[in-house]
Structure 1
Amino acid sequence: MLQHAVTCRTQWSKIKQKKGINDIQKGAVYSRAYKVPRLLTSVIRLDGGSPDPEQNNSLAAALRRAKDAGVPKDNIENALKKAAGGKDKGDTHLTFEVMGPGSVGIIVECLSDNPNRTIKFLNSILKDNGGRMADVKYLFKREGRVKVALDAGDDIETRLEKLVEAALDADAEDFETEDQEDGSRNVEFKCPQPSLHKLTSVLSAPGVARELLSSELVYAPVEPLEELDDETGEGLDKLVQAIEDADDTLKVWTTADA
């Protein structure tokens, strides 16, 4: 039976909240309109699926995140056309392994129309921020994450129980809940990589939840670091922020993420 996973309140978590890094993971990166084509390309090509949001629940969720972040409709439509085109520039997928301050492992995913430029720029960032290329992928596992929202109501616990049962039948392995100010509740499920599409389809079916918030493949730390001192945490934050700000960066994962 699934157990409600409690997020560790680590020094790194506090630093990320203070600096605003969590905003990127929650979708603020979509507000950078120039990154939208690469983000949608990632959903369509890297995670797999149709370029039609009516047929691709993960893409539909990504489009909602872009709209909620205030990205103009024209930008989204143009980005979707480019992402679905298949022959446009900017479709080279790159994955880098990095060792950061405090021996924190980092995975960086990029899409680039010029890999040599991307590598050169990343190396410059690492040199300036105490990082280096290193074999760290063994510190991570590839898994699916699906987040949905439940409406507020006196029966929310009953609906949550039914939601969990449906998720279990679709290969979910664990989950976390997050209460919202309006009384609603967000629920994020974890699943094996091959089960992402199955779990997403089940949880986005009519009547199961209010809406699908996100569906993606992540690099999750095998053993998340539970504590970093202030100096190391601030150095890691600075490095991650610099990598996130690079034009070609899609996602950054660290072993300090609880």
Structure 2
Amino acid sequence: MGRAFEYRRAAKEARWDKMSKVFPKLAKAITVAAKEGGIDPDMNPKLRAAISAAKAENMPKDNIDAAIKRANGKDSADIKTIFYDGKAAHGTQIIVECATDNPTRTVANVKAIFHKNGGEILPSGSLSFMFSRKSVFELEKPTKDIEELELELIDFGLEEIELEGESLYVYGDYTSFGTLSEGIEKLGLEVKKARLEYIPTSSISLNEEEMSEVEKLLDKLEDDDDVQAVYTNIE
């Protein structure tokens, strides 16, 4: 009985810890999307994607609505999306996406994380030729024929389609996010996640020891409150 209670309490604390880190990031992503493209999800595919990601993490509707409303508030005027380039051991290249109302604080934190964990921040834009910005949609595995879907989505900006396990990944240029979102919705496909990502033009492979070393840096970056996403050239 006592052990079962301790287990349940530990599990609940783990969920609370996850929510305390994830929910603020999701809320900030919703606010930024609403600020950039308007507060109507029907007219703003990025906002729809941000809301979908929040729902997937069981974020309460009240939190989602509050994040959308915040886009029209005075506080949202200062929130900006900023990218930082960096490198780590074993040829690892890293792009860090942040949403922040205080770039001075954010860059100081990001620099400190790189420095303390064997990495180095680079001048802005240093890795632009090593990564391509893409629209990426993760969908539920469809019952429809994949080749047929591919042909139908090409007209909406599809560049590549890939089936991995129970998920179908759809890729397009970052400028095609809206049209691809529209095409996916017209075909009645269920979206798990959708966002703009940086995809490496060439990847590196790390062994277990090397990966363990680099993961310390990546984990610290992902834990930072201002960091929305971390992209690497690790395959």
TM-score (norm 2): 0.82
Q: Is residue 100 from structure 1 mapped to residue 79 from structure 2 by the alignment?
A: no
More contact order relative to length (CA 8 Å, sep ≥ 6):
1
Tell me how far apart the structure 2 counterparts of residues 64 and 143 of structure 1 sit (CA, whole Å).
Answer: 19
Aligned twin of 1:41: 31
Q: CA RMSD in A?
A: 2.3
2:196 to 198, 201, 217: 217
1:235 to 195, 206, 213: 213
Tell me how far apart the structure 2 counterparts of residues 29 and 177 of structure 1 sit (CA, whole Å).
Answer: 30
Deviation at 1:148, TM superposition (A): 2.6
Q: Is residue 174 from structure 1 mapped to residue 160 from structure 2 by the alignment?
A: yes
Tell me how far apart the structure 2 counterparts of residues 133 and 194 of structure 1 sit (CA, whole Å).
Answer: 28
Q: Is residue 60 from structure 1 mapped to residue 60 from structure 2 by the alignment?
A: no
* % identity of equivalent residues: 27
Deviation at 1:84, TM superposition (A): 4.8
Q: Which runs of 5+ in 1 are unaligned?
A: 1-27, 181-185
2:178 to 192, 197, 206: 197
1:126 to 114, 121, 142: 114
Tell me how far apart the structure 2 counterparts of residues 187 and 111 of structure 1 sit (CA, whole Å).
Answer: 28
1:142 to 118, 133, 146: 133
**Structure 1 or 2: more helix by fraction:** 2
**Aligned residue identity for 1:244:** E
- Could you list the per-position Cα deviations for residues 66-114 of structure 1 after superposition, in whole angstroms to 9, with x for gaps in the alignment? 1231222221111121135475265122110001121211001111111
**Aligned residue identity for 2:140:** A
Q: Which runs of 5+ in 2 are unaligned?
A: 1-17
Tell me how far apart the structure 1 counterparts of residues 42 and 172 of structure 2 sit (CA, whole Å).
Answer: 23
8 Å CA contact 2:52–2:193 kept in 1: the answer is no
* Cα distance change on mapping 1:84 and 1:204 into 2, 3 Å: farther
* Structure whose alpha-carbon radius of gyration is higher: 2
Aligned twin of 1:254: 232
Aligned twin of 1:19: none
Tell me how far apart the structure 2 counterparts of residues 136 and 111 of structure 1 sit (CA, whole Å).
Answer: 19
8 Å CA contact 1:31–1:70 kept in 2: the answer is no
Deviation at 1:228, TM superposition (A): 0.7
Aligned twin of 1:80: 68
Tell me how far apart the structure 2 counterparts of residues 34 and 215 of structure 1 sit (CA, whole Å).
Answer: 18
Tell me how far apart the structure 1 counterparts of residues 98 and 172 of structure 2 sit (CA, whole Å).
Answer: 23
8 Å CA contact 1:30–1:66 kept in 2: the answer is no
8 Å CA contact 1:57–1:204 kept in 2: the answer is no
